[in-house]
Amino acid sequence: MPDTKCSGIRRQCKILNIHPSGFYAWKKSPHSRRHYEDQRLVGLIKQFWPDSGSVYGYRKIHEDLLSVGELCGKHKVARLMRQAGIKAEVGYKRKPRIKSGAPSHIAPNLLEREFDSGKPNQKWVTDITYIKTAEGWLFLAVVLDLFSRHIIGWSMKNRMERDIVISALMMAVWRRNPKQPVTTHSDQGSQYTSYDWQSFLK
């Protein structure tokens, strides 16, 4: 007996002007190309998020994706993280800013988003992250050489004080012993705009 189900599918494909082979190909893989692209990005997000101590929000994750050459928008990253149940974790409340007094000195941006380096010990970048542990929050400051993309200095403390960034940079200087000036790039957090940090850089 002829396969009535197969005959019915072929008849519907003919009515819709669709080749049966296309229907069977879709049946084997019903998801769109966009779906698989989203799944690939979610996989990358799930790699970056634990590396941040499971605290990064979509803005920081978006910056990480851009740093590895992924071209996607912030809103897309936010949507994918929301669908995957990934969200920023707040470790502590920010202290209210004090409006009185002189503002911290802010250094010029010498790097200007030029994250490539032709030689070692030309451009270093540094930042602080925090990691949730069984005993509380652990703060980690690192220094990275943009030439090798290797961590060359680090420091860990249970409080985010300014000496943590100086200790990380001191390790980098001790390990690398650069013979020429090094451009050291950071954000404008209070640890990096302190007079102690600026003095140590000089």
Question: What is the per-residue pLDDT across 36-49, written as a single tens digit (0 to 9) for each?
Answer: 788 888 888 887 77
Q: How far apart are the first and last CA of the chain?
A: 89
Give the C-alpha separation, 138 to 151, whole Å: 18
| Threshold 0.85, pTM exceeds | no
β-bridge partners, 154: 142
Question: What is the per-residue pLDDT across 6-58, written as a single tens digit (0 to 9) for each?
Answer: 667 777 777 767 776 766 666 665 566 777 788 888 888 887 776 666 677 88
Question: What is the per-residue pLDDT across 104-120, written as a single tens digit (0 to 9) for each?
Answer: 446 667 766 766 677 88
> Which of 112, 125, 179 is closest to 152 using CA atoms?
125
Please state, as a whole number, how many other Cβ atoms lie within 10 Å of the Cβ of residue 65.
Answer: 20
